[in-house]
Structure 1
């Protein structure tokens, strides 16, 4: 019994640490932008610092069910690597140039509602009345936050940034919906590693096509933040979340997801001085409540 309880406690600790560390990404991106780095260079640094570990995992851990893997599965893996990590990350980093870290996290947090809607459109999965109401409530909360933020800051800038981050949420949700049938064949860590390698390749090609190739023109703080994002906001939380799900189960872990927006807002206030109004706080609670209902089985 004591071992069982201990495992649960470790799982809870891993879940909290994983969610909070994932939340640091937006704050570090906003800090890095203060040093004059562009979104593509910063994304490149994050990916190239992280990819060696994923390459090691890809060679170390073989696919779970190699006999079930067909040639077209590798093509789908490349597709989801492009959509789920390259495009999602690119839109996210672009959007963070225009909106606050806290607002970005709240928009990304609605991806479970997009998963439900995409599953309905693609796989004809029925949406229950409770889910429909919860989705409506979620987007009412987002509209409340947006309308207030547009009144405080430049409306067009906020709208464009929010749209880009929402595209990031859509592409990530598409990755989750579409890759579900591939993960049992490859394994979670293996599939993630392969997808991250594909994504890194896309970022490098993108950078080579549009940049002047001078990657050493930034201050040392930019490279330090890129390395910190790779380790503390990408690699470490991904392993912590996997370990937490293994100990707690996916349903129990989902309870801790609401810590994401809250921790981002707190960290953004502490480290970059972002403020949040009472109306935005109310909208955030509405969004969290709506997503929590949508995520319930």
Structure 2
């Protein structure tokens, strides 16, 4: 007599698989946030060896470019194999141009500013880019400006003001220029977010990232060649290892981890996990750079995270 073995209902199996994908998504998002938070730390460690911004960016892009080219080539082959075809030349040129804004200009301003302000303060300023997304969206893209943004952004910028005033009193007015540069980086990244959305949908997130990063890499290397001697790239082993981590661990890896996470969890969940980024940067800065931390830093950080986090999460659907 045959013994029948009951199998779990399809709905139970599907629910378990969905839960597994969700947990993987949370893990990918968290790892991406941690790695991205280490970017400023790596840059600071490289600056300690007397490396300038142009050389740092050239090393970063030179080491990461082959990976983007390889992944881009794989994406192109997959599109052809599945009969989807390639994006139009117009779309690719637009991706190249927006890559210059989102990855070259924004990074250049950010690293330039990092030379004069702390990694903690830099991360908090960049974290306020949703402010500029809202402002630019309302001014140039016809988006609606939500009233609650006034309260959320007011709280966040009050927190930044607390840190800014304390840091200025301690280090002098020299940090104003650095802070202004990072604010400009946040603005350029916000503009990139607004313009890139349609292109990502048309080209695909993986291929778009590769095209945009390749464009930014070529521009970075050309700018370096025009302004610095090629001998600057002959760095010692310590700097090379820091640059290698900056290129792969803090640039390539988090860019694809975030994309993979969004394939498994909602934008709201991804944004929730991303809020840990300033906290991780603060912990890294204290642990690896020896940056001081006081009550003003803690209070200011909590206000920035609270204001931006409340606005970001309150406006997204799961």
> How would you bin the TM-score normalised by the shorter chain?
over 0.9
> Aligned pair in 2 of structure 1 residues 268, 262: CA closer, same or farther (>3 Å)?
same
TM-score, structure 1 as length reference: 0.95
User: Residue 159 in 1 paired to residue 176 in 2?
Assistant: yes
**Paired residue for 1:111?**
129
Is residue 134–residue 291 contact of structure 1 (8 Å, CA) maintained in 2? Answer: yes
How many Å separate the matches in 2 of 1:284 and 1:152?
18
**Paired residue for 1:179?**
196
Deviation (angstroms), 1:215 = 3.0
**Paired residue for 2:3?**
none
User: Residue 227 in 1 paired to residue 241 in 2?
Assistant: no
> Aligned pair in 2 of structure 1 residues 66, 175: CA closer, same or farther (>3 Å)?
farther
Aligned residue pairs, count: 296
Aligned-partner SS, 2:229: coil
How many Å separate the matches in 2 of 1:41 and 1:237?
22
Aligned-partner SS, 1:99: coil
CA-based RMSD of the aligned residues comes to 1.7
Is residue 59–residue 233 contact of structure 2 (8 Å, CA) maintained in 1? Answer: no
User: Residue 142 in 1 paired to residue 156 in 2?
Assistant: no
User: Residue 38 in 1 paired to residue 57 in 2?
Assistant: no
User: Residue 7 in 1 paired to residue 24 in 2?
Assistant: no
**Paired residue for 1:28?**
42
> Aligned pair in 2 of structure 1 residues 66, 160: CA closer, same or farther (>3 Å)?
farther
TM-score, structure 2 as length reference: 0.89
Which runs of 5 or more residues in structure 1 are unaligned?
Answer: none
> Aligned pair in 2 of structure 1 residues 238, 71: CA closer, same or farther (>3 Å)?
closer
Which runs of 5 or more residues in structure 2 are unaligned?
Answer: 1-14
How many Å separate the matches in 2 of 1:73 and 1:136?
38
> Aligned pair in 2 of structure 1 residues 53, 61: CA closer, same or farther (>3 Å)?
same
**Paired residue for 1:190?**
207
Is residue 17–residue 237 contact of structure 1 (8 Å, CA) maintained in 2? Answer: yes
User: Residue 80 in 1 paired to residue 105 in 2?
Assistant: no
How many Å separate the matches in 1 of 2:306 and 2:207?
33
Deviation (angstroms), 1:70 = 4.4
> Aligned pair in 2 of structure 1 residues 137, 170: CA closer, same or farther (>3 Å)?
same
2:114 to 78, 87, 96: 96
How many Å separate the matches in 2 of 1:36 and 1:281?
30
Deviation (angstroms), 1:122 = 0.9
**Paired residue for 1:281?**
298
User: Residue 292 in 1 paired to residue 309 in 2?
Assistant: yes
Aligned-partner SS, 2:230: coil
**Paired residue for 1:52?**
66
Is residue 111–residue 173 contact of structure 1 (8 Å, CA) maintained in 2? Answer: yes
How many Å separate the matches in 2 of 1:24 and 1:42?
15
> Aligned pair in 2 of structure 1 residues 148, 173: CA closer, same or farther (>3 Å)?
same
How many Å separate the matches in 2 of 1:250 and 1:281?
27
